[in-house]
Structure 1
């Protein structure tokens, strides 16, 4: 191994690479320094990297300390070695934990998470789409500025000139925070994501794009979609008459459907509950007429072994756009216009029960109420006279 003066930056800078090989240099003047023992400078064609080789748990390990000029001298490498060896001793280094990058930290979180596979896929998709470079960095080298720069494109300047957080910003910030929390716990490094400043969110869009006091166009829009694609249109109709989120609606199996009892079992709602819902006669007829070519009610067009990826981002007609989540808004509006009890509406929506009674209630939903809500939706869409619903309500 060649020897070279490594204690001064100019001397380290003078070392020239040898074409076609990596050369290891040591500094014999520090042979009596126990903290510098085993430190070498690896000089390649384009980089100079400090490493340390030590026997740890009866195994010889070589640990990277950093690169020149970030670590300009062997003394700086020695300081880095102290921190690295402390981490190795406690099992909190990258090799022991398997967490070197933020992506490693997120994969570690996913491996120990009870969230659904769809949620895990969502994390990975968002990282690949918006945070790829940030999550490829060594967690010890990620700065608060790096995180802020990655999230900044998803801020919006409001009418008041202040920065506001979009929904995407909120999701990405949560993903970064989750990954850094995992990395911090395992690697015992500062959680720099905690330094993110507070940003006011953009007020959420919680209204549909048409006047709900006028005739609702949604059933016409769904009918037009069904003419072009029966299964996708049926998916939108199912969401409208059940208030199911699209992630739950698209993943229903035929084994979850009981047309005789007029019930639909939904697994892994947002609150992790599995619930059996009564469904209205309209949905019984709809589901009964769908083809059964797969275990899935809504199979993927190219691969029936999987369910459909989505029902589409929106329906559009005459300048009106409705999103999948608008189906929950319309279902809830129809149910409240019937003056149904809030706890019954919560159950139909699959919301977490509030209050002690909800813990004991074995299910206040029933088929008749499901039909009432369906009838009200049809009334709002102009398919039935109001008197039909009034008579049904009086018969209860």
Structure 2
């Protein structure tokens, strides 16, 4: 329902709330200047018009907070914008988008993207490097600020500095798309992190190539097998390290292994929802089968690397430090994966078979698209890798002597 009225303070004060819904009054002096009255008795000034065929309505302010004349003046300004071809609603939305802060953009990225818990933690840790910018609007983060902050972060760790900037770039790109205008216009004309590429100032970080070498394997294996018993989750750490070494799976994925993914009858292991968002099935080799059968007797009912009461192992850092202390073999979790790969190369295992074992996505390779190595096809090469690693560790010889 609508009605026309010359707006004055006294006239508006006399207006009663409708019994339901909303009631609109329109000023007789300025076209499009209105008053919206709700069932609660709230009265708000509005401006309504059409721009480029679109119905537009702007809330100017609540009666009592601004005067009739102030609201009428605001309406005249909006009308002048429309006469000049400017959409006041679009301008208001644009101003709101320009106020999006880094904290808001980061939260939108974390909630809007389908991120794994490990990736989410990485993003949150990396974005701490920009915590003093959290209240700053994205549009106010300039390329020169990016350059200076990258240099500052690089003093502590060139690798982490690069990673932090990559996550920042991803957050800004996501916000640029999420908060684009009705016509798709981006929030920013350019991602400020692009400055690092333009001036070629990304840190040169050599790819880590370390692994547990064959001559180190016995010391490493002995330390893992007997040196962790005094630690909390000692048995779980031991078995997790050994499984990672003998399968080449990412340590973070090994920690997620569930008993429903262990099939002793068909001798397969399935790691669910891995880094590339797919399940990864591998054959269960001889020695590893014995290890997991023993683990089944002492673990919880859901996760493989858990105690009898179901408490999960979630971090391997204490175990790594202890093994390094005992064996003298420096290693990181991903070094176990590289040790597996190196053993495969020593056995001349083909690249497509190795990629399948490692759950690597094969792209831009026409031939690879026709090759689908099955789990059974992987059984023999996986067993060969296990055997050579255990021989390096002296386990095979020990079994033979027994």
Q: What's the TM-score bracket when you normalise by the shorter of the two chains?
A: 0.5 to 0.7
Q: Which residue of 2 aligns with 1:173?
A: 165
Q: Which residue of 2 aligns with 1:374?
A: 386
Q: How far did 1:172 drift?
A: 0.6
* Structural mapping, 1:148-159, within 5 Å: 148-155=147-154
CA contact (8 A) 2:101 2:137 kept: yes
Distance 1:301 1:86 in 2: 65
CA contact (8 A) 1:225 1:232 kept: no
CA RMSD of aligned residues (A): 3.4
Q: How far did 1:122 drift?
A: 2.0
Distance 1:271 1:367 in 2: 22
CA contact (8 A) 2:249 2:337 kept: yes
Q: Which residue of 2 aligns with 1:230?
A: 235
Distance 2:163 2:350 in 1: 33
Q: Which residue of 1 aligns with 2:279?
A: 274
Residue 363 (structure 1) aligned with residue 373 (structure 2): yes
Q: Which residue of 2 aligns with 1:121?
A: 121
* Structural mapping, 1:179-198, within 5 Å: 179-185=171-177, 186=179, 188-190=187-189, 191-196=191-196, 197-198=199-200
Distance 2:218 2:250 in 1: 20
Q: Which TM-score applies when normalising by structure 2?
A: 0.66
Residue 293 (structure 1) aligned with residue 303 (structure 2): no
* Structural mapping, 1:192-341, within 5 Å: 192-196=192-196, 197-198=199-200, 199-208=202-211, 211-212=213-214, 216-228=218-230, 229-290=234-295, 291-299=298-306, 304=311, 307-312=312-317, 314=320, 315-316=323-324, 317-341=326-350
Q: How far did 1:322 drift?
A: 1.1
Q: How far did 1:248 drift?
A: 0.8
Q: How far did 1:374 drift?
A: 0.6
Distance 1:336 1:342 in 2: 9
Distance 2:153 2:347 in 1: 40
Distance 1:308 1:59 in 2: 55
CA contact (8 A) 1:102 1:135 kept: yes
Counting helix residues as a fraction of each chain, which structure ranks higher? 2
Distance 2:193 2:106 in 1: 14
Q: Secondary structure at the match of 1:277?
A: strand
What does the per-residue CA deviation read over 1:238-284, in whole Å, with 9 as the maximum and x for residues that have no partner?
10011011121111111111122111111233332222111212111
Distance 1:116 1:376 in 2: 34
Between structure 1 and structure 2, the one with the greater Rg is 2
CA contact (8 A) 1:301 1:308 kept: no
What does the per-residue CA deviation read over 1:42-86, in whole Å, with 9 as the maximum and x for residues that have no partner?
xxxxxxxxxxx9858342369xxxxxxxxxxxxxxx9xxx9xx97
Distance 2:317 2:307 in 1: 13
The 1:131–1:220 alpha-carbon spacing in structure 2 relative to 1, beyond 3 Å, is farther
Provide runs of 4+ in structure 1 moved above 6 Å. Answer: 300-303
Q: Which TM-score applies when normalising by structure 1?
A: 0.67
Q: Which residue of 2 aligns with 1:46?
A: none
CA contact (8 A) 1:238 1:249 kept: yes
Q: Which moved further from structure 2: 292-301 or 113-122? A: 292-301
The 1:192–1:331 alpha-carbon spacing in structure 2 relative to 1, beyond 3 Å, is same
CA contact (8 A) 2:223 2:327 kept: no
Q: How far did 1:301 drift?
A: 9.9
Distance 1:262 1:178 in 2: 41
Q: Secondary structure at the match of 2:395?
A: coil
Distance 1:250 1:331 in 2: 17
